[in-house]
Structure formats: structure tokens, C-alpha cells
Chains A and B, each alone.
Chain A
């Protein structure tokens, strides 16, 4: 238990991806079964433990200590799980003679009935160290929130076994905690587990961005073009009555899209883009789509207002036949015939874009027929469906980003390598009547610049600080003084959370405009005009 607790403590404060991977692989390497498998399940969200409500936790602790002292403590710390882990009084004369393993903790929690759950939890907390208490409380209150995705955990497993992460993703849904056979395989002690489960995720094929000069080397006739839809990549798999809708990384998202899942009455594995609207009439915008994202459950009203559908662009398997080895041209034929027979309000075909040369395609790319199109995809006619991101068969050629000239307002210190640099920038544009302009913040960006530019901005921030709040500095920015940043972004959403009313998607610094006077930066109206398009 203590090693798991220590792992959580480290992960939550480690910003770098590589650092997290090292911590995870070291943990998986040094901890035995079944503890490591249970830890893995806790991180990927595959561990089921009956939840304890925060109110119950609070009740447990104030039975054991002065409520006023608890109140002072909670006010100071601000996080219930952490406060309870720190103030939990060990019973008088109670010296635990055994540190429970993670498996013991999980076993006792899973065996507890609803009514004796709190009592079991209290006994566990009595026996645990402070860090372990925190970990136990996180397990029972649900959601570790340690900044590690299931995908990253699988990458750590891949590193451990020196295998491709796609292999793990393909296996994943056929396995269950504590994953003993998976670890045995990764450590070379057993054969790769064979999965008998149905409707498994198949690792997806990804594309590379078109770089300068790439197209000159390619023959237009070798490639099909499709619009690149700015929805979410999904894989719809139905096999022997089991239906699953997976995200790009293999997370099961069927629960969030019950309307689409209900229409999956076929035997196939299809690859496509999840969008909202009715494909026969109108495709919703990204703002519409957002109404359906990041929700655990979704009300009938929202489902009706923003129905989900799938725009299919590839077929991996149809009626038991694996098509992945076939060339794209063949798969496409199968797909076209197959989609024909599906519910037309839930499935349609991603149309091909006809073109004869790159110039024609470039013109189409710059003026797409729908706002949710963010560019074009190029797919080699003769390429099989390959897991991962092979260079050559698939390209994404995105629409050029929008840019805006904004003024640097606040800078925050970075993490890790950048902890001595002011590297996270909040920028604003002008608003208000002439003569009384004010900057309103419109976004935050922390990449897009070179190391040399970072040093220059850092110096500028230090030389032009007007106020400091912890790790944040407020930078001189008015009509006469200020650093203008050209910010590139992919799109703009309406936002009620931001004072400016807009939220940028994927903003990054594209150029430093040392030459441009602050007063000549853009106005908020420029951004608002983009919203209304």
C-alpha cells in the first residue's frame, strides 16, 4: 500500500511525461502481483469499489476529533481527502503491526457491504500511514486525479515489456484486474494472452501532418482525399451481440453516446468521426458537439437536441472478415456497400473529394464547405490499415490556423526544465471605446516559441514586471508599452467562463512582434467576427 501511495504522491507532482513513465515502469517492475495490477486498474479507472460519499468521510472524522479543530484544518488545506488523511487520529495505543498490501485494502473494501463500508474504511485508515490514508480515500471517493491517462499507463506497460503500445491496447478490453497474465507476458515468462472477449478495440491508424515539400514528392493519383472532420475519432465495434464505441485511445465511450450505440445493429468494426446533427440534413458545429463531450451521462433532451452520428471512413472488419490487410481502395468499396444498409440518421459515409492536382486540392482546402471541416485527409489507395502512425500512407493537411495579434498580460513560471523561466503566457486584445481601451484576456499559451525566444520573453517579463502573485507576474501592458504576440489558433468557441466571451482552441505563439506597437494589436471585435461566421 505504501508503495502505491508513494507512486501517487510522485505522479501528481511530476509534470513531464517521461518522468511519469519512468515512475510507472519502475513501479510495475518492482512491485509484485497482484498489487501492481490493482494499481494499474486504479489508474486506468478499471477498478470497481463501492463509493464512500464525502459527507460520510467527514462524519467519520468528526466522531474522532474536535469539530472546531477539524474545521480550522479543512479551511487551511482545502481538500477533504487530504485533510482527513492528515488529521486522522490513530487510536490510543494502536500500533499496526502489519502494513496492509494494496490487494488487502482493495479486497476488504470490495467485500464490505454498503452498511459496514464506513466501518471498514475507518479500520483501514487506523492502520495506514498518512500517504496511504490519502491513497485509500482517493480509491473510495473515486477518481485519483493524478494526471495520468489510461493511455499513458499502457505506454508504461509497453516500455516495461518493450512491446508496441498498440499490442496492449488491442488486448486491453479482454483483460481484467489484476492483469497477472499481462505482466507475465511483458516480463517474458509467458505467451501473449489470447483474448476470447468479443468486440475488442483495434488500435487505430493515425496520420502525419503535411510538411513543407512533402507534396512535391507525392503523386496525386496515388491518393484519395477526404474532408477532415473536426469531431472525435471513434471506432464502432459490434460482435456477437456485444456493442462498443471506443475513443481513439481505446476508452469505451458507449455510455456517453447511448443514442448512437443503440443504432449499432451490425457485425463489423468501423472507423469514423463522431459528430452531432442529422447527416441527411445538417452537421452540427464544434460548439454543438461540445454539448455532448465530457459527460458521464446525458439527458434525453440533450440527446434529442444534439443527436450523435458517425461519419464512417474505414472498415476494419465486416461480418467476421478482417479487412485490415486489404488496400484502402478495397476497404472503401466494402465500406460504401456496408454503410448503405445502416440507419441513415446515425451513419453516413465520409465523401471523397475529387481532385486532379495539389493546386486544386489546396483551393478546396482553403475554402471548405462546412465550418466543422478543418482540412483534408490524404490516404494512399494501396495502403493497408496499419496501427500507429506510419509515415507515408496517411496525411492530414489542415486548414491554415487563424492568427491574432495580442498583448502579453501575465506570465507564469513553468515546470521541470522550465521552472526558472516565465513560460506560460496569458495574452489579451483591446476592448472598449476609443480613448478608453482596455485589454481583455483571451487565452493562454505555453509553446510555439523557440528556446532562444523563450529566453528573450523571460527577460522581457523580468524587466517589465509590475506585480507578482506567487508564480505569476503581471507584465506592463498599456497603449504605449507591451509585447505583441502573434497567436495562432485552430478555432474559437463562445465561452461564458471567460470575460472576453471567447475561448481559443489550441492556441500557440506563432511569432514575436517586437516591432509592433501595443496599441496596434487586434481588437476583440476581430475575434467576435470569427465566432459569427
Chain B
């Protein structure tokens, strides 16, 4: 079987004609397989959804319990048969519940990795490289300039700054699902034991993480009711990045704005966003992780989805690996 007969791109997303299912479709479909809970990958309104239990739970929290007609939980490493196609979910290391999806038929195995990273993350299972014929990789940080430093070094910089500026508050912008909880967990691992103040948008998901045994310590709402301005002196506050440009941020004393993202590698990006303390903490693979992963899968062919495809395709060419961009639409290039 040819790879392009097993999976092909359609306007709705990546489609498997013999299995009649989509992976991470961007429009409502009959049968959807979903890699992880970020909203550009996990949308509501499908007839049936197959995903890990955590991803299903997260979708339920975000969209309400009736986000799909029927749901089925996939167990990592266990193969499911869908219309004669063998489908297996494997951990992707991106956020809690994230998975790669291996699709196999007639001796051809394609792995759709969704979003992934290789750096250790205490809030989710680590990525497992799966041998395959075709590996579908993201390329959010597909340029040699993206090199993520160890995350604990980045967190140490926040704590150092908090000690240097005890009269000010530190506002860390982080995406509500995954990044925010990872940042909180890293703070705890670095020995920070004061309460962490959170924006309301993070509450449900953070509670869910805690219920899954991921200890985030004491979280308190970052609202005026919880204190006067001076009470937030020296506080660390976590919220979605958009909230910090918002009036919400005014309740904190002389805040230092921090943003946890792989994009913070580029000084100009930090500067434009008014970020004073950029934290290069990413849930996506950096350049080195992308190329190491491509080699580990042993794939003879690489399909590159959202992000900066051209550099990764060029690298594959230099290495003698066939590669092409997939041109899927509807995924965020700028997420993280």
C-alpha cells in the first residue's frame, strides 16, 4: 500500500480513506481521532471521537460534556481496529493526555505525531519514538535558531528576579492548557512554596491536573477580593498571555511581565510584546529535537505540517530523506 493511499490531506484535515476517519480535523466530521486537547486540534461537534481519556476529559471541560456524539477512550500502546486499519496511540510528551497516532495497514506504518517535545515534563508522559515508514512531524520551531534551554534554568531566572525585585509582582503568561501547569510544577520543583496566583481561565484545567495526581501546590485566585495591591508584592501570578495586556493586570504592583514560550528565544519578539523577562519554555520540539526524532523513527519519508516547513524539508534533503510539506490548514503556527 502506498503511503498517500493510507493518509492524505483534505480540507477537513488528515484523512484515512480505507479507515474512513480523520486525525485532528478542523471541521466537524463523522469519526475523528484526536491527538491532544489544544483547541486547534480538538474541536467540538464530531459524531464520534477516539482519544486518550485525559484528552476526552479536557475536551469535556472546555466544550461541555456533549462535545461529541460518542466518545471512546484509547489506551496508550493498545491497538484498535478501525475498518481494518490498525490504530495505536503512543505518548507525545506535549501536554497531559497528548498522543501520537500510528496508523498501519498492509505493511505500511505512518505515525502522525501531532504536537510533541522531547524535553522532560513532569506533567505528562514522555514522547516515545515509534519506528515507522512515514513520520508526520510538526515544525512550529523548525528553524536552527530555535534551541530551547533546560526548563529549570528558565524557572531559576524567575526566582532570581523575584528575589531581586521583592516589591514587584511577576506575571507569567502561559497557555491555559499544559504550559501553565508545567510552569507551576517547575516552580514547585525549584522549591517555591508560596501560593501561586492564577487567572480564572486556568482554574478548571489546573484543578483537573491536580485531580490526575500532578501536584501544583497551593493555587489562589488572582483577584482583587483575595487582596489589596500591596498584598501581591513579590507574588508570582500565572495567566493566559492575553490577560496581561488587559485591564485585569492592573491590580498587581509594578508587574514584571514574563512570557513562557519557545518564541521568547528571539529578543525582538520579547521586545515587541513588552516582555521584560522572557522564559524560553516550550511544549514543542526545538530544532535539535526535531532532527533527532526524525532520525530515531527511521522513517524514509517525512511529511511536515504546520510551522516553518521549508527549513526542515531542506534539512531532510541534505540528509537524503524524502520530505514534503503537507499544507494542512487551520492549525496555529504561533501556538506555544
> Which residues of A are interface residues toward B (Cβ below 8 A)?
6, 9-10, 12-15, 19, 22-23, 26, 65-66, 68-70, 72-73, 76-79, 82-83, 86-87, 130, 413-417, 419-420, 470-471
Q: Are B144 and A73 in contact (CB under 8 A)?
A: yes
Give complex CA distance A156, B149 in Å. 30
Q: Are A77 and B272 in contact (CB under 8 A)?
A: no
Look across to chain B and name the residue whose beta carbon is closest to the beta carbon of A412.
B274
19 more A-B residue pairs beyond the given contacts A87-B144, A471-B272, with a C-beta to C-beta distance below 8 A = A12-B267, A12-B271, A13-B278, A14-B276, A22-B165, A23-B164, A65-B144, A66-B314, A69-B314, A69-B315, A72-B314, A76-B308, A77-B145, A79-B268, A87-B145, A413-B245, A413-B274, A420-B247, A420-B250
Question: What B residues does A6 contact at CB under 8 A?
Answer: 157
The 5 closest A-B pairs by CB, nearest first: A86-B145, A420-B249, A87-B144, A72-B311, A73-B145
Question: What B residues does A23 contact at CB under 8 A?
Answer: 164
B311 in complex: contacting residue of A19, A69, A417, CB < 8 Å = A69
A66-B314, A72-B311, A420-B246 given; A86·B271 CB < 8 A = no
Question: With an 8 A cutoff between CB atoms, is B108 at the interface?
Answer: no
A417 in complex: contacting residue of B161, B254, B267, CB < 8 Å = B254
Give complex CA distance A87, B147 in Å. 8
A68-B314, A79-B267, A420-B250 given; A13·B276 CB < 8 A = yes
Look across to chain B and name the residue whose beta carbon is closest to the beta carbon of A65.
B144
> Which residues of B are interface residues toward A (Cβ below 8 A)?
143-147, 149, 157, 161, 164-165, 244-250, 254-257, 265-268, 270-278, 308, 310-311, 314-315, 318
Q: Are B276 and A416 in contact (CB under 8 A)?
A: yes
A126 to chain B, nearest CB (A): 15
Q: Are A73 and B143 in contact (CB under 8 A)?
A: yes
A135 to chain B, nearest CB (A): 12
Q: Are A10 and B257 in contact (CB under 8 A)?
A: no
Question: What A residues does B250 contact at CB under 8 A?
Answer: 420
24 contacts between A and B (CB under 8 A): A10-B161, A13-B270, A14-B276, A19-B165, A19-B276, A22-B164, A22-B165, A66-B315, A68-B314, A69-B144, A69-B315, A73-B144, A77-B145, A79-B268, A130-B149, A415-B276, A416-B276, A417-B255, A419-B244, A419-B255, A420-B244, A420-B249, A420-B250, A470-B272
Centre residue among B146, B273, B311 by max chain A CB count within 10 A: B311
Q: Are B272 and A86 in contact (CB under 8 A)?
A: no
A89 to chain B, nearest CB (A): 8
Give complex CA distance A414, B273 in Å. 10
Q: Are B318 and A66 in contact (CB under 8 A)?
A: yes
Question: What A residues does B247 contact at CB under 8 A?
Answer: 420
Centre residue among A13, A77, A416, A471 by max chain B CB count within 10 A: A13
A10-B277, A13-B276, A13-B278 given; A82·B144 CB < 8 A = no
Look across to chain A and name the residue whose beta carbon is closest to the beta carbon of B161.
A10
Give complex CA distance A65, B144 in Å. 10
A13 in complex: contacting residue of B248, B275, B314, CB < 8 Å = B275
Question: What A residues does B270 contact at CB under 8 A?
Answer: 13
Give complex CA distance A130, B308 in Å. 21
Centre residue among A68, A78, A79, A414 by max chain B CB count within 10 A: A68
Question: What B residues does A82 contact at CB under 8 A?
Answer: 266-267
Q: Are B245 and A72 in contact (CB under 8 A)?
A: no
Look across to chain B and name the residue whose beta carbon is closest to the beta carbon of A14.
B276
Inter-chain residue pair count (beta carbon < 8 A): 94
Give complex CA distance A66, B157 in Å. 33
Give complex CA distance A82, B147 in Å. 12
Question: What A residues does B267 contact at CB under 8 A?
Answer: 9, 12-13, 79, 82
A83-B145, A420-B244 given; A15·B165 CB < 8 A = no
Give complex CA distance A10, B254 in Å. 17
Give complex CA distance A76, B157 in Å. 26
A388 to chain B, nearest CB (A): 27
B148 to chain A, nearest CB (A): 10
Question: What A residues does B164 contact at CB under 8 A?
Answer: 22-23, 26
Question: What B residues does A19 contact at CB under 8 A?
Answer: 165, 256, 276
B105 to chain A, nearest CB (A): 35
Question: What A residues does B268 contact at CB under 8 A?
Answer: 77-79
Question: What B residues does A66 contact at CB under 8 A?
Answer: 314-315, 318
A19-B165, A416-B254, A420-B246 given; A471·B273 CB < 8 A = yes
B257 to chain A, nearest CB (A): 6
Question: What A residues does B244 contact at CB under 8 A?
Answer: 419-420
Look across to chain A and name the residue whose beta carbon is closest to the beta carbon of B267.
A82
Give complex CA distance A415, B265 in Å. 20
Question: What B residues does A415 contact at CB under 8 A?
Answer: 274, 276
Give complex CA distance A481, B26 in Å. 41
B245 in complex: contacting residue of A70, A73, A420, CB < 8 Å = A420
A117 to chain B, nearest CB (A): 25
Question: What A residues does B271 contact at CB under 8 A?
Answer: 12-13
A1 to chain B, nearest CB (A): 15
B93 to chain A, nearest CB (A): 23
Question: What A residues does B143 contact at CB under 8 A?
Answer: 69, 72-73, 76
Question: What A residues does B246 contact at CB under 8 A?
Answer: 420
Q: Are B249 and A419 in contact (CB under 8 A)?
A: yes
Question: What B residues does A65 contact at CB under 8 A?
Answer: 144
Give complex CA distance A14, B318 in Å. 41
Give complex CA distance A79, B270 in Å. 14
Centre residue among B164, B267, B273, B315 by max chain A CB count within 10 A: B267
Give complex CA distance A39, B149 in Å. 24
A86-B147, A420-B244 given; A77·B266 CB < 8 A = yes
Q: Are B274 and A419 in contact (CB under 8 A)?
A: yes
Question: What B residues does A10 contact at CB under 8 A?
Answer: 161, 277
Look across to chain B and name the residue whose beta carbon is closest to the beta carbon of A22.
B164
Give complex CA distance A72, B276 in Å. 27
Q: Are B257 and A419 in contact (CB under 8 A)?
A: yes
Q: Are A13 and B266 in contact (CB under 8 A)?
A: no
Give complex CA distance A83, B310 in Å. 17
Give complex CA distance A26, B160 in Å. 11
Q: Are B144 and A86 in contact (CB under 8 A)?
A: yes
Question: What B residues does A77 contact at CB under 8 A?
Answer: 145, 266, 268
Look across to chain A and name the residue whose beta carbon is closest to the beta carbon of B248.
A420
A21 to chain B, nearest CB (A): 11
Centre residue among A10, A12, A14, A23 by max chain B CB count within 10 A: A10
Give complex CA distance A416, B318 in Å. 45
B285 to chain A, nearest CB (A): 16
Question: What A residues does B157 contact at CB under 8 A?
Answer: 6
Question: What B residues does A76 contact at CB under 8 A?
Answer: 143, 145, 266, 308
Look across to chain A and name the residue whose beta carbon is closest to the beta carbon of B268.
A78
Question: What B residues does A68 contact at CB under 8 A?
Answer: 314
Give complex CA distance A79, B269 in Å. 12
B247 to chain A, nearest CB (A): 6
Give complex CA distance A216, B147 in Å. 65
Give complex CA distance A415, B270 in Å. 12
A460 to chain B, nearest CB (A): 14
B316 to chain A, nearest CB (A): 12
Question: What B residues does A470 contact at CB under 8 A?
Answer: 272
Question: What B residues does A419 contact at CB under 8 A?
Answer: 244-245, 249, 255, 257, 274
Look across to chain A and name the residue whose beta carbon is closest to the beta carbon of B275.
A13
Look across to chain B and name the residue whose beta carbon is closest to the beta carbon of A72.
B311
Look across to chain A and name the residue whose beta carbon is closest to the beta carbon of B270.
A13
Question: What A residues does B276 contact at CB under 8 A?
Answer: 13-15, 19, 415-416
Question: What A residues does B314 contact at CB under 8 A?
Answer: 66, 68-69, 72
Q: Are A72 and B147 in contact (CB under 8 A)?
A: no
Centre residue among B246, B250, B273, B277 by max chain A CB count within 10 A: B250
